[in-house]
Amino acid sequence: MTLVFGVMFYDTIGFTFTDEICALLLVCLYAARVATTPSWPTNKGLLITFAVFSFYFAYSLAIQSNTPAAIATDCVIQIKPYLGFFCVYAIAPRFSVRQRRTIRRLAVLFAGYTAVVAALYVSSPETIKYTFGGEARLATAVTIIGLLYLYFSKSSTFNSTVYLAIMVIGLFSGRSKFYGFFTASCLTMVYIHRRRRAFRISAATAVFVTFAFAAVLLVAWDKISFYFATAILGDSQSTIDLYARAALYMFTWPLLIHHIPFGTGFASYATYTSGVYYSPLYSSLGIDNIYGLTRSNPDFLSDTYYPALAQFGFVGILLFASFWFYAAKKAAGALRIGARKEGLVALLVVVFFLIECTSDSTITHNRGVFMMMLLGLVLGDIKRMRSELSSAVVGWPAQVAQH
């Protein structure tokens, strides 16, 4: 349901509550699982997530970062992706061979659909508005389809080639972020598939990571230089001339310094809700006259995600970085035990978000919630594989003794 209505036809249908409904259903499924299990298993990550967001909700109300309605709305939007991740991770669903085959076929079918849309976009750019709503969303949809196919297929050169063929469709979007992710995908897949031994941190690995990072920077430099260099160096003569997203980056650091350690609070800066319930912070910063950041036209306020971390302060940034470090560590752990496909998909999801958050708030939207669910599914499988491997190692001496 989420793939069909929350990714592929989300903009065509116009039903904007798919991700909220999905997150709610996942919480209900997890609660039902806990309630029907005699041992009442709980997920520490989910409990910590509720505790952290509850604290920031109370903190935002205390400092009056916006109206109570705005704070509640933004809290729900910000917690959605983490609910999707931790619920799927805790439930850890298993798919049959038939179900995996069905998902692969759906991925191929939707890949054909996106290829048609991409071809029509080249000849008639207006058509993208009636299908995916924009080039960036087409690129994200292609990424999701490709990763779904890769994860639900067997690890082989053929399936890796199909994955890359699907990803080629996204190149028609013209998004430099996608170019960067596509480059990272190609380099990472080549490197991992060439290494038949267990993954180890070595000089060769360090050289590859450095080379891959440099390649991504080179491919996506136009976007990076604009959003970061412009913000840091302040190329514009006045705030009116400063592009909206660069302005949001430029004022992130001062906000972090002036609101140590917990930030400006929910619905206050660089989020969708801070535009709907226009935050007074923009006027105090003097950026409420920039196109896309005005009260009458706040369209660009949620076009990035990293500046929105100012809402959570240095503590929130530390928590955010810790989450992604945890995910990357688990991916590397999967490679070390020989689970190359699982480790590869998890690593690519992490790379996707690290790139995507530079100039879009995808992580809090429908496609971002879906990707977080996929990450939870992959890391849940990795956890189960590690557990099974540990059990096999522990049981091996006993089996030898019996013989």
Q: Is the peptide bond before 261 cis (omega within 30 degrees of 0)?
A: yes
Cα(245)–Cα(145) distance, integer angstroms = 28
pTM of the model: 0.85
CA 342 to CA 332: how far, in whole Å? 10
For residue 16, give both structure tokens: 């904007």
Rounded to the nearest 5 percent, the helix, strand and coil shares of the chain are 75, 0, 25
Do residues 266 and 260 touch, judged by C-beta distance below 8 A? no
Residue type, 169: I
- Whose tokens are 């935050």? That residue is 279
- 268 three-state secondary structure: coil
pLDDT in tens, the chain (403 residues): 677 766 777 777 766 777 788 888 888 888 888 888 777 777 888 999 999 999 999 999 999 999 999 999 999 999 999 999 999 999 888 899 999 999 999 999 999 999 999 888 888 888 888 888 888 888 999 999 999 999 999 888 888 888 888 988 888 887 878 888 888 888 777 766 665 544 454 565 556 556 655 655 565 565 555 545 544 444 444 444 347 888 899 899 999 999 999 999 999 999 999 999 999 999 999 999 888 899 999 988 888 899 999 999 999 999 999 999 999 999 988 888 878 889 999 999 999 999 889 888 889 988 899 999 999 999 999 988 888 877 665 555 555 455 5
Name which of 277, 312, 309, 308 is nearest 295 in CA terms: 277
Cα dihedral sign, 125-130-136-138: negative
CB neighbours of 16 closer than 8 A, spacing ≥ 6?
10
